[in-house]
A and B are shown apart, each in its own frame.
Chain A
Amino acid sequence: SQKIEQNSEALNIQEGKTATLTCNYTNYSPAYLQWYRQDPGRGPVFLLLIRENEKEKRKERLKVTFDTTLKQSLFHITASQPADSATYLCALEFSGGYQKVTFGTGTKLQVIP
């Protein structure tokens, strides 16, 4: 069965540093990989989507890489700020046209001032 692992439950980082979050998957041929941000008690909010034929995507301070050989995506937040503190979720949609979007368990990021 498909399995999505995010590198750690929690990550603490100093303000101004780059936060790097990892998403690993097994038994998948994902067509799309997405990253979401979730604040406590709120619904997830979309950040970035990357396709299987794309290596990298950027949006402002955010960067996502997608390595289908390693079955891994890295999510970077540069110049991190306390306001970036949240749980970050990766989500995969595998090819086959079923549009089933499966989420990892998330990494809770804490940016320390």
Chain B
Amino acid sequence: DSGVTQTPKHLITATGQRVTLRCSPRSGDLSVYWYQQSLDQGLQFLIHYYNGEERAKGNILERFSAQQFPDLHSELNLSSLELGDSALYFCASSSGTSRKGGAGELFFGEGSRLTVL
């Protein structure tokens, strides 16, 4: 058990819909990362938050947005869903402590499997 909790574990929805994925990081970790993993793309970095502040952005679509709340949990919002958005979405947390310091070891949740029909 990594200590990172993701909900829901599975989600089936239709094209055009909107979903919210939730992540609770390990106790004490200030950094949260979101990744998308599909069969043909590997693990794609989406976005990183540190203590509520967006730190880095990857190839995140404009239809996707995220935020990290004061209690450090994070949400990834996916809207106007398309078939190609079907994937495993992982959240990871780390204790990376400063802007100049490394991220360190990432602790991953078990993922949210999104199926868009």
Binding site for B on A (CB under 8 A): 31-32, 34, 36, 41-46, 49, 51, 89, 91, 93, 97-106
Of B14-22, B43-51, B73-81, the one touching chain A: B43-51
Closest CB in chain A relative to B48 CB, distance in Å: 6
Q: A43-B111, A45-B108 are in contact. Are A103 and B42 (CB under 8 A)?
A: yes
Q: How far is the CB of A9 from chain B (nearest CB, A)?
A: 10
| A103 and B35 within 8 A (CB) | yes
Are B45 and A99 touching (Cβ within 8 A)?
Answer: no
Q: Is the C-beta of B63 less than 8 angstroms from some C-beta in chain A?
A: no
Structural contact, A97 and B99, CB atoms closer than 8 A? yes
Cβ–Cβ contact A101 & B42, under 8 A: no
**28 examples of A-B residue contacts, CB within 8 angstroms:** A34-B105, A36-B106, A41-B111, A42-B110, A43-B92, A43-B109, A44-B106, A46-B106, A49-B104, A51-B102, A93-B102, A97-B99, A97-B101, A98-B55, A98-B56, A99-B31, A99-B48, A99-B101, A99-B103, A101-B33, A101-B103, A101-B106, A102-B45, A103-B43, A103-B44, A104-B42, A105-B42, A105-B43
For the A-B complex, the count of residue pairs with Cβ-Cβ distances under 8 Å equals 72
Bound Cα distance A95, B90 (Å): 24
Find the B residue at minimum CB distance from A89: B43
Q: In the docked arrangement, what's the CA distance between A51 and B101, Å?
A: 12
- For A41, the chain B residues whose CB sits under 8 A away are 88, 111
> In the complex the two chains form, is A99's CB within 8 Å of B105's CB?
no
B2 contacts partner chain A, Cβ-Cβ < 8 Å: yes
CB-based contact B2/A93 at 8 Å: no
Give 6 nearest A-B pairs by CB, closest first: A43-B108, A105-B42, A100-B56, A103-B43, A99-B103, A46-B105
Instruction: Pick from B35, B50, B106, B110 the residue with the most CB of A within 10 Å.
Output: B106
